[in-house]
Chain A
């Protein structure tokens, strides 16, 4: 690929970025390239280093090592330029709670030297939903509405790159779905979106994802490819005694790993020779009743679990 074209089409680039907090290594040699107009997901558990990465990219903190650039501007030397062109929505609701919805929006528009009218088109779809409450104080909004207001405020200056740090944490499933719908629409406007989430089910909604754990990327690929690379057979198991089932399954020699997934357990086995009925027989001997084992398609979460084991 031509290097120049490459540079122009890349919105976010990280090379060798590391950050330590005292003895804790929050980020270790992170490499990342996000193309323009992409929805890129950073998927990982709490404490994996997602927020630290966001804070480095939004010029809030400095990396100990490595370089990072947004739209070709270096986060250290050109931080002023970056601040003009990125939108950041932190994980915690951080707008002025004692200002009304409209005042908040107006305030952030002014801070970015623009007006609500100028970029109203961009936020219209989101803002109309909270417009009926525009005279309500931001602190008195519900979780879903707070999140819409925060997104509106992050978009008010028509950023070219949008950073969303766990935008759906603590938001109800309906609002979460709506929120991802909004992100898809923003993508069509050419806005690059870097979004982090601890919810694996949201991963499939991203164009590409990076799985992160303990400050390191486990894998970067499209959700489909990540799932495709899952080589093992995956079974879902249920019985009348779920907690005993988990330990019993783990005790079976052929079991590679086994995790609780909501109302069932996901099991992978070492040996392709083993069949579901073999397992049912073993579990039946261990006095389990109503045993149900079926083969299922792996999800991103299964891939994450497997990758994080290695």
Chain B
């Protein structure tokens, strides 16, 4: 039996592998340096950058044009050009200028690389300033603002902590929403649905018989997810398990309602699969898994507000990381309950129409 194995293997696979692979942290950016100065200062700067661990010095070019070539041939991701007289200008207190150009074919990589490089250079700048104005007294002549960064709820900005709850939501959506839809449409296509329809079995029993196994599997799978999160990633929810299960139940009801709607409109597996893929992509893109919803344009924020996956993801992250309780999550609860009501009513109405 392939599918039953698959139903259990899939979440385990996803939770064991993806969080390690999918991370926003970018390491090993290939750096090409154009050093027109060849001074101790420029050497120092390059050394500081390479020792950060984020950059790999792959190539030193004599001019910007050749450096650009190495970007074109994908040997470098980012170019740092140090002008001639860099050291001289610094010492003469005229200030130095540096140019950074990043390959933005992968926008995220380029942007993040740029930010890293910026902060390293700022740090270097600070060092130089201290070096040139040795603290004669304990009070520095230039007041500076010291930043103390603290990441709340996820101290080490561990992406796995962030990813695991999100992945659990995706798995649950597939198993409780889309699998039943596909399985009902499969019965339609096979003709077994017709056999059941000519029997005294009422429609509601047929549909419940299709859904309940997936509901149970959903609960088992999410429990497996919680266990993996604890065993593999050491993730224990800061909130209560009862809160997690309560929201899981509401969410399962929501997505299975959506699944039923899909199964009512699709008459072949091909159609069903296509609709499922469409919704899955839409849900994931607008869930805040890859790009934060707050940085989306206004219309996309509106769309995301109608994404049940997003709401459940917020719930799981809040309960896991912040320890929120149902009262603090009342907005999400109302939203999910609303969707559950909406999709299931739609499912019942569209079913009547089609038969």
Q: Do A and B come from one complex?
A: yes
- Using a CB–CB cutoff of 8 Å, the interface residues on chain A facing chain B are 58-60, 80, 83-84, 86, 88, 90, 92-98, 108, 111-113, 153
Whether the Cβ atoms of B200 and A90 lie closer than 8 Å is no
Q: Given that A94-B191, A95-B192, A96-B192 are known contacts, is A86 also in contact with B198, CB under 8 Å in the complex? A: yes
In residues 187-230 of chain B, which contact A (Cβ within 8 Å)?
Answer: 190-192, 194-201
B199 CB contacts on chain A under 8 angstroms: 83, 108, 111-112
Whether the Cβ atoms of B194 and A111 lie closer than 8 Å is no
Using a Cβ cutoff of 8 Å, how many contacts connect chains A and B? 39
Complex Cα distance, B190 from A112, in Å, reads 20
B191 CB contacts on chain A under 8 angstroms: 90, 92-94
Whether the Cβ atoms of B190 and A83 lie closer than 8 Å is no
B194 CB contacts on chain A under 8 angstroms: 60, 88, 90, 94
Whether the Cβ atoms of A59 and B190 lie closer than 8 Å is no
Given contacts A90-B194, A92-B191, A94-B190, 11 further A-B contacts (CB under 8 A): A60-B194, A83-B199, A88-B194, A88-B198, A95-B192, A96-B192, A97-B190, A108-B199, A112-B199, A112-B200, A113-B200
In residues 1-60 of chain B, which contact A (Cβ within 8 Å)?
Answer: 1
* Whole-angstrom distance between the Cβ of B183 and the nearest chain A Cβ: 12
Q: What are 5 A-B contacts with C-beta separation under 8 Å?
A: A59-B198, A60-B194, A88-B195, A93-B191, A112-B200
B190 CB contacts on chain A under 8 angstroms: 94, 97
* Whole-angstrom distance between the Cβ of B83 and the nearest chain A Cβ: 72
Whether the Cβ atoms of B198 and A80 lie closer than 8 Å is no
Residue in B closest to A93 when the chains form the complex, CB atoms: B191
Whether the Cβ atoms of B195 and A94 lie closer than 8 Å is yes
Contact of B195 among A84, A95, A97, A98 (CB under 8 A): A95
Complex Cα distance, B224 from A88, in Å, reads 43
Complex Cα distance, B209 from A282, in Å, reads 71
Complex Cα distance, B199 from A113, in Å, reads 10
* Whole-angstrom distance between the Cβ of B224 and the nearest chain A Cβ: 25
Whether the Cβ atoms of A60 and B197 lie closer than 8 Å is yes
B196 CB contacts on chain A under 8 angstroms: 111
Residue in B closest to A163 when the chains form the complex, CB atoms: B198
* Whole-angstrom distance between the Cβ of A158 and the nearest chain B Cβ: 13
Complex Cα distance, B195 from A97, in Å, reads 13
Residue in B closest to A150 when the chains form the complex, CB atoms: B195
Whether the Cβ atoms of A80 and B197 lie closer than 8 Å is no
Complex Cα distance, B200 from A80, in Å, reads 6
* Whole-angstrom distance between the Cβ of A167 and the nearest chain B Cβ: 14
Residue in A closest to B196 when the chains form the complex, CB atoms: A111
* Whole-angstrom distance between the Cβ of A78 and the nearest chain B Cβ: 12
A80 CB contacts on chain B under 8 angstroms: 200
* Whole-angstrom distance between the Cβ of B340 and the nearest chain A Cβ: 29
Interface size class of B (residues with CB under 8 A): 10 to 19
Complex Cα distance, B193 from A60, in Å, reads 11
A112 CB contacts on chain B under 8 angstroms: 199-200
Complex Cα distance, B3 from A98, in Å, reads 12
B197 CB contacts on chain A under 8 angstroms: 60
* Whole-angstrom distance between the Cβ of A113 and the nearest chain B Cβ: 7
A86 CB contacts on chain B under 8 angstroms: 198
Complex Cα distance, B199 from A80, in Å, reads 9
B200 CB contacts on chain A under 8 angstroms: 80, 83-84, 111-113
Residue in B closest to A98 when the chains form the complex, CB atoms: B1
Residue in B closest to A89 when the chains form the complex, CB atoms: B195
Complex Cα distance, B198 from A108, in Å, reads 11
* Whole-angstrom distance between the Cβ of A48 and the nearest chain B Cβ: 20
The 8 closest A-B pairs by CB, nearest first: A94-B191, A88-B198, A111-B199, A58-B198, A83-B200, A84-B200, A92-B191, A94-B192
Interface string of B167-201 (1 = CB under 8 A from A): 00000000000000000000000111011111111
* Whole-angstrom distance between the Cβ of B3 and the nearest chain A Cβ: 9
Residue in B closest to A80 when the chains form the complex, CB atoms: B200
Whether the Cβ atoms of A60 and B198 lie closer than 8 Å is yes
A58 CB contacts on chain B under 8 angstroms: 198
Interface string of B304-324 (1 = CB under 8 A from A): 000000000000000000000
Complex Cα distance, B196 from A95, in Å, reads 10
* Whole-angstrom distance between the Cβ of B45 and the nearest chain A Cβ: 67
* Whole-angstrom distance between the Cβ of B6 and the nearest chain A Cβ: 14
Residue in A closest to B190 when the chains form the complex, CB atoms: A94
Whether the Cβ atoms of A83 and B198 lie closer than 8 Å is yes
A94 CB contacts on chain B under 8 angstroms: 190-192, 194-195
Residue in B closest to A159 when the chains form the complex, CB atoms: B198
* Whole-angstrom distance between the Cβ of B201 and the nearest chain A Cβ: 5
B195 CB contacts on chain A under 8 angstroms: 88, 90, 94-95, 108, 153
* Whole-angstrom distance between the Cβ of B66 and the nearest chain A Cβ: 64
Residue in B closest to A96 when the chains form the complex, CB atoms: B192
Complex Cα distance, B190 from A113, in Å, reads 23
Complex Cα distance, B198 from A13, in Å, reads 18
Most interface-central of B191, B198, B199, B200 (chain A CB within 10 A): B198
B192 CB contacts on chain A under 8 angstroms: 94-96
A83 CB contacts on chain B under 8 angstroms: 198-200
Residue in A closest to B195 when the chains form the complex, CB atoms: A94
* Whole-angstrom distance between the Cβ of A93 and the nearest chain B Cβ: 8
* Whole-angstrom distance between the Cβ of B10 and the nearest chain A Cβ: 19
Complex Cα distance, B194 from A152, in Å, reads 17
* Whole-angstrom distance between the Cβ of A19 and the nearest chain B Cβ: 15
* Whole-angstrom distance between the Cβ of A109 and the nearest chain B Cβ: 11
Complex Cα distance, B336 from A277, in Å, reads 87
Complex Cα distance, B71 from A65, in Å, reads 74
* Whole-angstrom distance between the Cβ of A194 and the nearest chain B Cβ: 13
Complex Cα distance, B197 from A108, in Å, reads 12
In residues 241-297 of chain B, which contact A (Cβ within 8 Å)?
Answer: none
Complex Cα distance, B200 from A86, in Å, reads 10
* Whole-angstrom distance between the Cβ of B29 and the nearest chain A Cβ: 51
A84 CB contacts on chain B under 8 angstroms: 200
A95 CB contacts on chain B under 8 angstroms: 192, 195
Complex Cα distance, B194 from A108, in Å, reads 13
A108 CB contacts on chain B under 8 angstroms: 195, 199
In residues 72-100 of chain B, which contact A (Cβ within 8 Å)?
Answer: none
